[in-house]
Structure 1
Amino acid sequence: MLRKIRLTLAILFFTLITLLFLDFTGTMHAWFGWMAKIQFLPAVLALNVGVIVLLIALTLVLGRVYCSVICPLGVFQDVISWISGRRKKKKYRFSYSPAKSWLRYSVLALFILALIAGIGSFVALLAPYSSYGRIASNLFAPVYRWGNNLLAYVAERADSYAFYETDVWMKSLPTFIIAVLTFIIIGVLAWRNGRTYCNTICPVGTILGFLSRFSLLRITIDTDKCNACGLCSRKCKAACINGKEHTVDYSRCVACMDCIDTCRHGAISLKLLRPLKPLQTSPEGEASKIETPSSPSGGVEGASRRSFLSATAVLAVTSAIHAQEKKVDGGLAVIEDKKVPKRATPIVPPGALSARDFARHCTACQLCVSACPNGVLRPSTDLTRLMQPEMSYERGYCRPECTRCSEVCPAGAIRPITVAEKSSTRIGHAVWIKQNCIPLTDGVDCGNCARHCPSGAILMIPSDSSDSGSVKIPVINTERCIGCGACENLCPARPFSAIYVEGHTMHSEL
C-alpha cells in the first residue's frame, strides 16, 4: 500500500513538472507553478524559508521521500530503471554495495564552493532539478511542440482552431549538447544500476541523505523473520540494503518501499524508531552501514544507442522545421535571418536586480526559456554564464505587458514584477549603427524603430540638418529607453540591425 501511494504521487509530480517545461500557453504554470518552487536548490537560492523547513522536516520524518517523489530527476531515473527491468526481464537485478562517501562529500564540497563563488555553470551541471530541466527543455519540448504543430496542421484542414502552430528552434547548441550528454550519462547509469547518480554524485541527495539518517520512520528488518535470502538487496535500486547482515544505509535509502513489497516473509516494514546513534565507520573509513534495530515482534549499451538516436531525431526535426520557417518577400526573395550582435554587456530580464545578482541565483533550469512566449530568452553560450538565460531580440522583443518569466522563476533570480514596474525598468539602452541604417544605405524612409518604440525613446530627424526634406534617421533618448528590443527586432536591416540594445549591469527605474 505504501509503495502504491508513493508511486502515485511520484507519477503525478513527475508528469506535472515535465508539463511545466513543455507547456507554451502558460496554463500549467498558473495552476502548478508552485511545484517548481518546492524543489530544494531553487528554494535555497530564493531563500524560501518555509519550503526549506518543510523539506527538512519531511526528510527527518520519512527519510528521502523528496528524492523518490518530488525530484523530477529522481523519478526520471526510476522510469528508465523500470523500463530496463522490463526489457531485461530480470525482477531482481541490483546488489548491495558500500557507500562511496569520499566521492559524495567531495562533490558536495565542490558544489558548495561553486555556490559561494558564484560559478553558476558548475552548479547547474550538478543540480538535479536543473539537469532535468535541461533535458525536458532541450529534448522533450521540441518533440512536444512538433506534435502540437502536427495536430494544428490536421486541425486547420478540418476547419478547427483547437490547436495553433508554435516555433520549434534550437535556442543554444552548447546547452543542447550538454542536455544530450546529461541524458545519456544519467540514462545509462539508471539503466544499469538504478540510483547510482543520486547516491554518488547528486549534492542534494547527499545533503538529504545526511539528514535521513535521523528520520523517525525507517525501513527495519526483523531478524527473526528474515532468512537472509537477499531478495531485498537485489530489488533495492539504491544499493543500500545488505540483506545478509540485516543492515540498511539510511543515508542512501530513498524510501521507495520496493523492499517491503519484495520480502516474502514480512520481515521488512516501515517503523517509528528512535534517533540513530552516530554512524558506524567501516575499517576503510567509509560510513557505509547503519545497523538496523531488530524487533522480535516484526513490524547499458542499448540505452546509449537509443539516447543517441533520440537526440539525432530531435536535431533533425528541429532543422527540418527551421528550414520551413524561411520567410519570402512576395514569393521572390528570401528574407535573410538576423544575426546576434556582439553586446558588451548581456541583457538579463526585468525582475533581476542586476546581472551579478541574477547569475548568483539562477540555476539554469531553463524554465523561463521554455515559458517565454516571445522567443527572447535563450541559454547563454558564454563560459562564465553557460546555460543561464540571457535576452536576444532576433526572433522577438520583450513586450512590456508580458511578465511570464518573473512568474515562473523558482530560484528568485527573476523576481515577480507587475506590468507597470516592468514598463518603467531600464534593463538596457538602444545603440544606433549608422552604417547599417536603411535611410542612409538605400536612401529611403523607414522609421520602424520610432514607430514601434513603446516608451517613445526614439525620434526621427532629417539626416541633413540644412535640408528638412532629407531622409530621416533615428535619435535615441537613452534616459527613456527601457531596453525592450522592439527597435532591434523590427529593424528591417539585414543581417545586422541598424539599432541594437546594450545591457545594463544594474537595472534602474525611469
Structure 2
Amino acid sequence: MLRKIRLTLAVLFFVAVTALFLDFTGTVHAWLGWTAKVQFLPALLAVNAGIVVLLILLTLLMGRVYCSIICPLGVFQDIVSWISGRRKKKKYRFSYSPEVKGLRYGVLGLFVIALVAGIGSFVALLAPYSSYGRIASNLFAPVYRWGNNLLAYIAERADSYVFYETEVWVKGLPTFIVAAVTFIVLIILAWRNGRTYCNTVCPVGTVLGFFSRFSLFRPVLDAGKCKNCSLCSRRCKAACIDYKNHRIDYSRCVACMDCIDACRHDALHLQYRWRRPDKAVGNKIVQKGTPGQMDASRRSFLSATAVLAATSVVKAQEKKVDGGLAVIEDKKIPVRATPIVPPGAWSARHFARHCTACQLCVSACPNNVLRPSTELAKLMQPEMSYERGYCRPECTRCSDVCPTGAIRPITVEEKSSARIGHAVWIRKNCIPLTDGVECGNCARHCPSGAILMVPSDIEAPDSVRIPVVNAERCIGCGACENLCPARPFSAIYVEGHTIHSVM
C-alpha cells in the first residue's frame, strides 16, 4: 500500500514538473508552478525558509521521500531503472554496497564552495532539479513542440485552429550538449545500478541523507523473521540494505518502500524509530501495540505529503504573440560589452549567484528573448538577446516562474520603468544612410519614447532622418534592435547594465 501511494505521488509530481518545461502557452504555470518552488535547492536559494524547513521536517519524519517523490531527477532515474528491469525480466537485480563517504561529502564540499564563491556553472552541473530542467527543456521540449506543430498542420487542413505552430530551435549549443551528456550518463547509471547518482554525486541527496539518519519512521529489518533470502537487498535500488547483518543505511535509503513490497516473510516494516523491541516467545514474535498504532506511519506519510500540495499557484500569463517584420536574413548577435539579465534580477551579480540554470525561464519566455549563456563563468545561465523577439513591457513570465529568486517577482508597472540596458546606434549600419531611404522603425516601436528621428544633416531639414537615443528614457527592452530591418547586424542594439535602475 505504501509503495502504491509513493508511486502515485511520484508520477503526479514528475508529470507536473515536466509539463512546466514543455508548456509554451503559460497555462500550466498558473496551476503547477508551485511544484518548481518546492524543490530543495531553488527554495534554499530563494531564501524560502518555509519550504526548506518543511522539506527538512518531512525528511526527519519519513526519510528521503523528497528524493523518491518530489525530485524529478530521482523519479526519472526510477523510470529508467524500471524499464531496465522489465527488459531484463529481473525485478531483483541490485546488491548491497558500502557507502562511499569520501566521494559523497567531497562533492558536497565542492558544491558548497562553488555556491558561496558564485561559480554558477559548477553549481548548475550538480543541482538535481536544474539538471532535469535542462534535459526536459533541451531534449523533451523540442519533440513535444514538433508534435504540436504536426497537430497544428493537420488541424489547419481541417479548418480548425485549436492548435497553433510554435518555433523550435536550439537556444544554446553548449547547454544542449551538457543536457545530452547528463541524460546519457543518468540513463547508464540508472539502467545498471539504480540510484547511484543520488547516493554518490547529488549534493541535495547527501544533505537530506544526513537528516534521514534521524527519521522517526523508517523501514526496519526484523532479524527474528528474516530468512536471509536477500530479496529486499536485490530489490533495493539505493544499494543500502545489508541483509546479512540485518542493517539498513538510512542516509542512502530513499524511502521507496520497494523492499517492504519485496519481502515474503513479513520481516520488513515501516516502524517508529523509538519503538520498544518485540519480545520473543519461543520461535514466535509477540508485537506490542494495537493495529491503530501500526497504521500511524501511513497516516503520517499521507498528511506530510498533503502539506506539500497545499501551496498557492502563480498567475496565468498571456500566449505567445508574434510581433515583427518578416525575416529576410537571420540576424547575428551583436558583441555586447555587458550581457543583459532579465528585469527583476536587479543586478548581474545577484542573478549569477542565485541562478542554477534550470532553464525554466528560457522555456517559459513567449518572445524567445532568453537563451543560455555560452560564457564559461556563467555557462548555461540565461541571458537576453533580441534576434528573435524583444522583451515586451507587459510580460512578466520569467519573474513569475523563477523558483530560485534569481529573477524576483516584478509587476508590469515596475518592469515598464526598470532600466536593464540602453540602446546604442551604429551609424554605418543604418538604412537611411546606407540606402538613402526613410525608415524610423526603431522610433515607431520604442515603448518608452526614448528614440527620436532627426535630420541626418542639420543644415538640410529635408535630409533623411536618423535615430537619436535618449539613454535616460531607454529601458533596454530591445524592440528597436529586434525590429530594425538592417541585416545581418542591426543598426541599433542594446548594451546591458550591471545594476538595474528605475526610470
Q: Which residue is equivalent to 1:224?
A: 224
Misfit runs of 4+, over 4 Å: 292-299
Q: Which residue is equivalent to 1:68?
A: 68
**Structure 2 CA distance, aligned partners of 1:15 and 1:352?**
29
Q: Which residue is equivalent to 2:174?
A: 174
Q: Is 2:92 the counterpart of 1:92? A: yes
**Structure 2 CA distance, aligned partners of 1:253 and 1:349?**
40
Q: Which residue is equivalent to 1:215?
A: 215
Shift of 1:274: 2.6
Q: Which residue is equivalent to 2:356?
A: 363
Q: Is 2:492 the counterpart of 1:499? A: yes
Calculate the TM-score normalised by the size of structure 1.
Answer: 0.89
Shift of 1:244: 1.4
Matched AA of 1:410 = P
Q: Which residue is equivalent to 1:441?
A: 434
The SS at the match of 1:398 is coil
Q: Which residue is equivalent to 1:387?
A: 380
Shift of 1:71: 0.1
Matched AA of 1:426 = R
Q: Which residue is equivalent to 2:201?
A: 201
- Report the aligned-residue RMSD: 1.6
Shift of 1:170: 0.4
Asked whether the equivalents of residues 62 and 215 of structure 2 are also in contact (C-alpha less than 8 Å), the reply is: yes
Asked whether the equivalents of residues 221 and 293 of structure 1 are also in contact (C-alpha less than 8 Å), the reply is: no
Matched AA of 1:401 = E
Q: Which residue is equivalent to 1:116?
A: 116
**Structure 2 CA distance, aligned partners of 1:43 and 1:441?**
52
Distance 1:297 1:422, change over 3 A: farther
Matched AA of 2:128 = P
The percentage of counterpart residues that share the same residue type is 77
Distance 1:369 1:234, change over 3 A: same
Calculate the TM-score normalised by the size of structure 2.
Answer: 0.91
**Structure 2 CA distance, aligned partners of 1:405 and 1:377?**
9
**Structure 1 CA distance, aligned partners of 2:21 and 2:374?**
20
**Structure 2 CA distance, aligned partners of 1:297 and 1:497?**
82
Deviations 1:77-115 (A, max 9, x none): 000000000111112100000000100000000000000
Structure 2: state its 5+ residue gaps.
280-284, 288-293, 295-323
Q: Which residue is equivalent to 1:288?
A: none
The SS at the match of 1:81 is helix
Aligned ranges 1:155-166 → 2 under 5 Å: 155-166=155-166
**Structure 2 CA distance, aligned partners of 1:399 and 1:415?**
17
Q: Is 2:367 the counterpart of 1:378? A: no
Q: Is 2:479 the counterpart of 1:486? A: yes
Deviations 1:426-459 (A, max 9, x none): 0000000000000000000000000000000000
Shift of 1:245: 1.2
1:453 to 432, 446, 449: 446
Distance 1:442 1:144, change over 3 A: same
Matched AA of 2:33 = G
Shift of 1:137: 0.2
Structure 1: state its 5+ residue gaps.
276-291, 300-326
Q: How many residues align?
A: 464
Asked whether the equivalents of residues 220 and 293 of structure 1 are also in contact (C-alpha less than 8 Å), the reply is: no
Asked whether the equivalents of residues 429 and 478 of structure 1 are also in contact (C-alpha less than 8 Å), the reply is: yes
Q: Which residue is equivalent to 2:26?
A: 26
Matched AA of 1:507 = H
The SS at the match of 1:385 is coil
**Structure 2 CA distance, aligned partners of 1:257 and 1:293?**
21
The SS at the match of 1:94 is coil
**Structure 2 CA distance, aligned partners of 1:144 and 1:297?**
56
The SS at the match of 2:500 is strand
Q: Which residue is equivalent to 1:146?
A: 146
Matched AA of 2:355 = C
Shift of 1:293: 7.2
Q: Is 2:424 the counterpart of 1:423? A: no
**Structure 1 CA distance, aligned partners of 2:385 and 2:91?**
50
Q: Which residue is equivalent to 2:263?
A: 263
The SS at the match of 1:395 is coil
Matched AA of 2:406 = A
Shift of 1:224: 1.0
**Structure 2 CA distance, aligned partners of 1:293 and 1:122?**
46
The SS at the match of 1:29 is helix
Q: Which residue is equivalent to 2:462?
A: 469
The SS at the match of 2:377 is helix
**Structure 2 CA distance, aligned partners of 1:440 and 1:378?**
32
**Structure 2 CA distance, aligned partners of 1:507 and 1:342?**
20
The SS at the match of 2:497 is strand
